[in-house]
Amino acid sequence: MINLTYEYKIQPTRQQEQTMLRWLEVCRKVYNYALAERKDWSNSRKCQVDSCSIKHEYIIPADAPYPNYVRQCRSLTLAKEAIAFLREPPAQVLQQALATLDKAYDSMRVRGFGFPRFKKTMHSFLFPSLGKSPLVGNALTLPKLGTVKIRLSRPLPDGFVLKQCRIVKRVSGWYAMLVLQCDVNVPQPMPHGELLGIDLGLTSFVATSNGKLVHRPKFYVDAQSKLRLLQRNLKRKTKGSNNWTKYQTRVAKLHEYISNCRKDYHFKVAHHLCNQVGMIFAEDLNLKALASGMLCKHTLDAGWGQFLQILEFVCWKRGIYFARVDARGTSQTCPICDTHTGKKPLSQRVHHCDSCGYHTDRDVAAAQVVAKRGIAALGHRV
């Protein structure tokens, strides 16, 4: 089973746009109410047996079950009888808002993410199922919304069926993320061809094991002066005024432009690395620790986490074997004789081994160590 997500821009009418804005607000209220219900239930079980909190007290019966996804969906069905605005969006759209909260709790417990927060704004909602032939030409038919004009910037792949649709609101307009499904089994790419190890850095975005260095554009840093000026002007405006709204939109558009440029560059670099190679090995970095370090602004500007996800997808799509290896000590090991050369300061950009005399760029040497570890993990000799 293959699932692909294609993103297209849609052009709703003014009435459809107002309807979708109301649906986003309803989804936000449902999400926040469900989150408050779960938090109140958890806090009511935290007080001591013989005493209650002085500041607040949650009066919830001891035999009240935990408000999980199934119980909250039942409560939502009953609430529709008394609250009129809950009946406006499709029932499945509101259920998906509850499912998003349930996934956030699972990510907190299993993956170690932070506690879910209340949302000030909701930017998307999901149609988990669509009717028969929802996409005909340049018209997309959505439940309770009608036909929406869609710009098919690229053709849909043959043999795929449209299963879901997520509507996303951005400062540049409305977008439809179509989930396409095909009932085929595609095997994972096997190791073959030439191998390539890569090392991610800030001086050079990517250093490869064959000695090539890829330049790192500074997307956020280059636009920081313009962003600072816009934010300064935004602060001087009266909140809620027309000028405040105008500058807020300009700031959001600049942020979206930076994000789009970074993502486009990551895709281009990923395709460039996949040319003429059969295996790519990358470091399994602790991105959370790097993003909170001394160079956090430049690390986040480089977007290593997004690039590794894109590279893994592009490798799968093009039949390239991709794997991550241990990142510890790659810059402290000689790729030729495996000698530990000691910790290098960030200002030292050259690798020199006293044992074998190997001399090369520091990042290239680290990429060669990554390639050596990757091929060793496959059980082959270098």
Q: Write out pLDDT tens, residues 139-172.
A: 999 999 999 999 999 999 888 999 999 999 999 9
Dihedral (CA of 245, 248, 252, 257) sign = positive
Q: Which of 139, 159, 182 is the last residue of a domain?
A: 182
Do 243 and 216 belong together in one domain? yes
Query: What pLDDT, on a 0 to 100 scale, did the predictor assign at position 380?
Result: 57
Of 51 and 320, the structure prediction assigns the larger pLDDT to 320
Give 348's strand partners. none
Strand ranges in the chain using DSSP code E only, listed in sequence order: 2-11, 124-127, 135-136, 139-142, 146-151, 161-170, 173-182, 195-200, 206-208, 213-214, 279-284, 321-326, 350-352, 359-361
Q: Is residue 210 part of a domain?
A: yes
242: Cβ contacts below 8 Å, ≥ 6 apart: none
Identify whether residues 92 and 226 lie together within a single domain: no
- 189 is a domain residue: no
Question: Which pLDDT band holds residue 381 (cuts at 50, 70, 90)?
Answer: very low
CA Rg value for the chain: 26
173 and 311 together in one domain: no
| Average per-residue pLDDT for the chain | 90
pLDDT band at 56, cuts 50/70/90? low
Give 231's DSSP letter. H
Q: What pLDDT sits at residue 324?
A: 93
State mean pLDDT over 14-32.
Answer: 96
Same domain, 143 and 203: no
- Give the number of domains in the chain: 2
Closest CA to 318 of 283, 265, 276, 266: 276
Residue 119: domain span: 2-182
Judged by average pLDDT, the poorest of 8-17, 96-105, 197-206, 330-339 is 330-339
Residues 205, 124: one domain? no
- Over 50: is that where the pLDDT of 129 sits? yes
Same-domain pairing of 152 and 218: no
Examine residue 187 and state whether it is found in any structural domain, yes or no. no
Q: What does the alpha-carbon distance between residue 123 and residue 107 come to, in Å, rounded to a whole number?
A: 20
Band of the pLDDT at 44, cuts 50, 70, 90?
A: confident
In a domain, 178, yes or no: yes
Q: Judge contact between 200 and 284, C-beta under 8 A.
A: no
- Of the three residues 132, 160, 182, the one that is the final residue of a domain is 182
Evaluate if residue 55 carries a pLDDT over 80: no
pLDDT at 382: 44
Q: Are residues 154 and 235 in the same domain?
A: no
Of 182, 213, 241, the domain-final residue: 182
pLDDT in tens, 180-238: 998 888 888 898 889 999 999 999 999 999 989 999 999 999 999 999 999 999 999 99
CA distance 346 to 202: 10
- Residue 190 included in any domain: no
Q: Is 0.85 surpassed by the pTM of this model?
A: yes
**29 and 65 within one domain:** yes
